[in-house]
Amino acid sequence: MENIEQIRHSLSHIMALAVLEFWPKTKLGMGPAIENGFYYDFQFTKPLEPTDLKKIEAKMQELILQDQKFVKKNITKLAAKKKFKDQPYKLELIKELPGKTVSIYTNGSFTDLCKGPHVKFTKEINPKAFELTKIAGAYWKGNEKNKMLTRIYGFAFATEKELQDYVKMQEEAEKRDHRKLNEKLNLYQISEEIGLGLVTLLPNGAIIADELENWAKETEEKQGYVRVYTPHIASEKAFKISGHVPYYAESMYPPMRMAEKKVGENDVYYIKPMNCAGHHMVYKSKPRSYKELPLRIAEYGAVYRFEQSGELYGMMRVRGPIHQNDAHIFCTEEQAEEEFQKVMDLHKYYYETLGLNEKNYFLSFAIRDPKSKKYVGDKKMWDKAEKIALKFIKKTNIPYKVEAGSAAFYGPKIDFNIKTVTGKVFSASTNQLDFQLPKAFGLKYIDKDGKEKIPVCIHRAPLGAHVRFIAFLTEHYAGNFPVWLAPVQVAVIPISEKHDQYASEITKQLKEYNVRVELKNENETLGKKIREAEMQKIPYLLIVGDKEVEAKTVSVRERGKGDIGARPINSFLDKIKQEIISKK
């Protein structure tokens, strides 16, 4: 529906009017339309209760049925200040807006500072196609130094069916939330004692990380990558050359200043936010010839980012350690197109193996905002990089959208975005075509004519960061990891104590085949042991009792299918090993 954004924005104003009718002394923040809905920020005189949402929602439906008209008017800033004299947040916005006039919108008895657009009449809104969903805290303007306001969120669609479908999808998304699933899967831990946003992968999470890393290493070795290990910290000198200081300093951990009298040097060090500088210095470690290019340098390097505390979110948004599936490809300009295509193909291979197809992902092409001062390099180099990158993107035949102003400070950025089964969009990896940093670091190679030239650098990380990608996969699979990734692949469950010895023999045999197996011989009922194994989402349960001991078989329960019958252990081993090898 073409005016769905107008409907959502209009609903935020209607909600503000409903709130003021119940709590007239409320101070108003901002209320935009957002993806799938809207929100408004308020400063209440007393805490809002969750039960108040239905009361506000009912009042909104009543106001919609009044068929109020939205009327726009341009007024001077002086008039606006008088109109909003009791609204401090509106006064702050008026002061910041450019020009001498501002626009306001009025519906019923409510007027708001707003540029619009809105629906003409509230009758354009289906009163049964929206729902207020939650109350959350939100810092004014997203800055944690400002006052915490109360944000009310709502979903909104054109029809009641669209709303119901989306609510169902959100309920499924809540079930799949990696933070909730972690309670049973025990993948990771974040503790106050270690620090906000600092993730510890527990044994189960570490297994998944190792499997992904081993897969990436095997794949990259076949494609001619060489592996390196670079330090976790580096001198400020490196980050000044790369431009991270000052252009990325806000996202970096504070500098460590070495006191000369203590360590015999006077220098400043940073925990690295990216692996770029280290890999550029690897390239620079010796003279290079065109015969060595492309040089593909890979590392699962740990980096750290000082994210705002309000932005931290389980394993999805962390401060560290961020072990990235990182690599930098140094090549000639003539080789760049072929190398970029190989990178795109590598993404497809990884995603398709994981059960994602081209319907599940799209590209974002982040280019610079020419008016911004946050970028390094000259216009000519940027234009060249953006033109070439766009040419590469079009050749992939993958859907893409352009995002102006979102480029990295040193070059245009191409993100692979995956749409999960719950409709959530997840930015999986970033790829960049870079003409800037090789020049800044003084990288050179001798071409076939004996002349010095500067290489092009392609930054790529198809599997992104361990923790973030594991969080995505947890939600995508709802915790039902494919056998090759599952932390525990098989649980062996003896029916009673007298079957423990046979169960132990089966467990030992599975371990000899490098199958990750857990023997569940606790003094519990069979039903409870099966339920606990199913809650852990273990792919296969092998039940052993009198019949199995006598016949030298195992009774197999497969996740999602239930009992699939008894079979000899060798037959089961052949089945599971094939699934692990093929990454089915």
**154 CB burial (10 A radius; 0-12, 13-18, 19+):** buried
1 exposure class (CB count in 10 Å sphere: 0-12, 13-18, 19+): exposed
Three-class SS state of 2: coil
| Active-site residue (options: 13, 305, 319, 520) | 305
Name the active-site residue from 13, 176, 323, 326: 326
Q: Which amino acid is at 275?
A: N
| Catalytic-labelled residue, pool 178, 280, 328, 368 | 328
Could you tell me how many residues make up the chain? 584
Q: Where are the alpha helices (DSSP H) in 186-291?
A: 203-222, 236-242, 244-247, 260-263, 276-283
Residue 276 bears catalytic tag = yes
Radius of gyration of the chain (CA): 29
3-state helix, strand and coil shares in percent for the chain, rounded to the nearest 5: 40, 25, 35
Residue tagged active-site, from 413, 466, 557, 567 = 413
Is-catalytic flag, 413?
A: yes
Answer whether 120's CB lies under 8 Å from 107's CB. Answer: no
Q: Where are the alpha helices (DSSP H) in 268-376?
A: 276-283, 336-353
Q: Is 324 a catalytic residue?
A: yes
Short-list 305, 356, 328, CA closest to 469: 356
Q: Which of 176, 459, 476, 499 is catalytic?
A: 459
Strand, coil or helix: what is 201?
Answer: strand
Task: Confirm if 469 and 498 have CB atoms less than 8 A apart.
Answer: no
Which residue of the set 114, 276, 331, 457 is catalytic?
A: 276
The one catalytic residue in 6, 68, 87, 324 is: 324
305 catalytic per annotation? yes
Give the distance between the most distant pair of CA atoms in the chain. 92
CB 443 within 8 A of CB 455: yes
Give CA separation, 51 vs 131, 170, 409, 566, in Å: 13, 20, 46, 53
Residues with active-site annotation: 276, 305, 324, 326, 328, 413, 459
